[in-house]
Amino acid sequence: MKVSEVDPDVDTGVLLAGAQFVDAYSIAIDNGALNARQAAEQMMGHSPRWVEALLKLRNLLVTPFGLKTSAPSEASDVIGLFPVLSQTPDRLIAGFDDSHLDFRVVVDVVRSGSSQSVTATTLVLTHNWLGRVYLATILPFHRLIVPSMLRQVAA
């Protein structure tokens, strides 16, 4: 299945006011029975091994800077590393706020005939130089990871 980069179709002011970075990727799937939570769980519930290896490296590198390396302990509903902030059958919003940046991932599911499209939109609001450097550093990986995770929904 082909993942395509698409124009983000979200209200950034509502989801993460002031976000400096927004992108979206979408995949069409034949299984027309997924809701947003199921799609998010298939995407973020387990990562490919190469993504897990990158995440371990990331955690090793950012620990000295005091950045979060896991979901906040007070989060009661978590998918993968991401606390769920809100959900409906068609949209799930996950993410967290940290000292260097705030992050949201929005998973939208739209039915079209017998198929569905699943779109993952990422929003980031940086707070300081560390957030801007971190975002610039992870963007090349982000552009590989999100499509890979979306392909898990179609698998």
Predicted local confidence at residue 90, as pLDDT: 95
pLDDT greater than 60 at residue 23: yes
CA distance 88 to 81: 20
Mean pLDDT confidence for 9-31? 92
Mean pLDDT confidence for 7-22? 94
- Provide the mean pLDDT of the chain: 86
DSSP codes, 86-123 = EE-SSEEEEEEE-SSEEEEEEEEEEEETTEEEEEEEEE
Determine the Cα angle at 76 with ends 71 and 44, to 5°: 50
Predicted local confidence at residue 155, as pLDDT: 77
Least trusted range by pLDDT, from 48-52, 87-91, 137-141: 48-52
pTM here is: 0.86
Question: Residue 94: phi, psi to the nearest 5?
Answer: -130, 160
Answer for the pair 43, 107: CB distance below 8 angstroms, yes or no.
yes
For residue 90, the enclosing domain spans 3-154
**CATH number of the domain where residue 69 is located:** 3.30.530
Predicted local confidence at residue 125, as pLDDT: 97
The number of domains in the chain is: 1
Least trusted range by pLDDT, from 31-40, 87-96, 124-133: 31-40
Question: Residue 128: phi, psi to the nearest 5?
Answer: -160, -175
Tens of pLDDT, residues 59-117: 676 666 666 655 555 657 888 878 999 999 999 999 989 888 999 999 999 988 778 99
Of 99-103, 125-129, 150-154, give the range with the top mean pLDDT: 125-129
